[in-house]
Amino acid sequence: VRRPLVLGIETSCDDTGCAVVDGAGRVLSDVVHSQLQVHLDHGGIIPPIARDLHAQNIGAAAERALRDAGVSLAELDAVAVTVRPGLSLSLLVGLRHARLLARQASLPLIPVHHMRAHALTVRMAAPEVAFPFLTLLISGGHCLLAVAQAPDRFLLLGASRDDAPGEALDKAARRLKLRNLPECATLAGGRAVELLAARGDPHAFEFPLPLSQYRDCSFSFAGLKFTAQKLAASEEQRHDVVASGVIPTAADLCASLQHAVARHLCHRTQRAMDYCQARGLLPDGARRLVVSGGVACNGYITACLRRVGEALGFEVYVPPPRLCTDNGVMIAWKGVELLRVGRGGTRDLDSVDIEAR
């Protein structure tokens, strides 16, 4: 193992993640306790329920992360924990536990920004992704384009004015009752949409291209979400399906929505690439785009982004799916990156607080 050795704790949303990562980017342990099934049963995340589940699981998850890694608390160099953005009730559970562990072993505590952690994960396995690089972060709660300039310095180019792409996909999956299909019963909404879309026609239904008249890097997914709901309702009527039934055109609708999401993401990413070029924000010889966040698990969307990259001379990097969704590894790695530039960690444990969005 190479120093620093960091325990990462992630509880910003619905996954309790704890992991130990070393200075060479080796993952010594990776424990994720997912609340997905509970939230699918409730039709969405209910914050107090998420908090209670984090509280139930965090102790065991952290213990197992240390045990799997074969290190004791005292052997660590720091504890890193997500403090923003996220659900405040959930964030607090992680922070309190991180503080407890840091206090027990007199370790520094490193507050971590969840979205920035998503952006840096790729450097664990691909150290050639040097700063600065362009990053597109797409998840269930966020959508943004930024230039990562240093582990703790990001230049925001644009973000969503309303919903995130994962939110649009999750809502569509729920509206289409994809859970009633056995192959989709246990999947995240976006994954279910991807699975169905694979056997549908992406041009079957027409979706508008959001913000087509704006020449900036912001996003909007509320219109796509709304169009999907409207189309689902009219298809239901047209096919006269029973209450629990899935409409026969669900695959076409999923494919068309997924295509529309991909198109919008590509459109804005292309703008960001042009902007970076015009402003000289990225080095000429090394133009790179890093895509991460849960929606980056989507093969159709990343294939489209890769084509845009190819056309504009950008190399496109996407971490493996396991590292795109929420986990403790990315938080631990962000801690390593911050320690390396001398920006990580405080021993004044009570000075660290959450900053919920």
Q: Where does this chain bind ligand KG4 (CB under 6 A)? A: 13, 139-141, 166, 169-170, 188-191, 194, 293-295, 297-298, 325-326
Distance CA 124, CA 23 (A): 9
Nearest approach, Cβ of 293 to ligand KG4 (angstroms)? 4
Distance CA 117, CA 293 (A): 10
When CB distances are held under 5 to 8 angstroms depending on the partner's kind, the choice from ligand KG4, Zn ion, none that residue 309 binds is none
C-beta closer to ligand KG4: residue 142 or 287? 142
Nearest approach, Cβ of 72 to ligand KG4 (angstroms)? 30
C-beta closer to ligand KG4: residue 229 or 346? 229
C-beta closer to Zn ion: residue 11 or 139? 139
Q: How many residues bind Zn ion (CB under 5 A)?
A: 2
DSSP letters, 156-193, are: EEEEBSS--HHHHHHHHHHHTTGGGSGGGTTS-HHHHH
Distance CA 196, CA 228 (A): 15
Distance CA 76, CA 278 (A): 44
Any contact of residue 252 with Zn ion (CB under 5 A)?
no
Any contact of residue 326 with Zn ion (CB under 5 A)?
yes
Q: Which residues of 260-298 are buried (b: 16+ CB within 10 A; e: fewer)?
A: bbbbbbbbbbbbbbebbeeeebbeeeebbbbbbbbbbbb
Distance CA 327, CA 332 (A): 9
Q: How far is CA 187 from CA 192, 287, 309, in A?
A: 6, 34, 29
C-beta closer to ligand KG4: residue 14 or 235? 14
Any contact of residue 139 with Zn ion (CB under 5 A)?
yes
Nearest approach, Cβ of 123 to Zn ion (angstroms)? 17
When CB distances are held under 5 to 8 angstroms depending on the partner's kind, the choice from ligand KG4, Zn ion, none that residue 77 binds is none
Any contact of residue 135 with Zn ion (CB under 5 A)?
no
C-beta closer to ligand KG4: residue 50 or 169? 169
Distance CA 27, CA 124 (A): 9
When CB distances are held under 5 to 8 angstroms depending on the partner's kind, the choice from Zn ion, ligand KG4, none that residue 169 binds is ligand KG4
When CB distances are held under 5 to 8 angstroms depending on the partner's kind, the choice from ligand KG4, Zn ion, none that residue 202 binds is none
Distance CA 42, CA 22 (A): 38
Element (H, E) at 340: helix 328-340
Nearest approach, Cβ of 335 to ligand KG4 (angstroms)? 18
Place of tokens 């213990």: 63
Nearest approach, Cβ of 50 to Zn ion (angstroms)? 14
Q: Interacting stretch for Zn ion, rule CB under 5 A, among 245-253, 259-267, 270-278, 321-329?
A: 321-329
Q: Interacting stretch for Zn ion, rule CB under 5 A, among 44-52, 205-213, 271-279, 318-326?
A: 318-326
When CB distances are held under 5 to 8 angstroms depending on the partner's kind, the choice from Zn ion, ligand KG4, none that residue 17 binds is none
Any contact of residue 11 with Zn ion (CB under 5 A)?
no
C-beta closer to Zn ion: residue 139 or 220? 139
Sheet holding 315-317, edge to edge: 153-159, 143-150, 133-138, 288-292, 315-317
C-beta closer to ligand KG4: residue 5 or 32? 32
Q: What is the DSSP letter of 74?
A: G
C-beta closer to ligand KG4: residue 165 or 345? 165
Nearest approach, Cβ of 14 to ligand KG4 (angstroms)? 8
Q: Evaluate the CA torsion angle 127, 129, 132, 134 in order and state its sign.
A: negative
Evaluate the omega torsion of the peptide bond into residue 85 and state whether it is cis, within 30 degrees of 0.
Answer: yes
When CB distances are held under 5 to 8 angstroms depending on the partner's kind, the choice from ligand KG4, Zn ion, none that residue 190 binds is ligand KG4
DSSP letters, 109-147, are: EEEEEHHHHHHHTHHHH-TT-PSSEEEEEE-SS-EEEEE
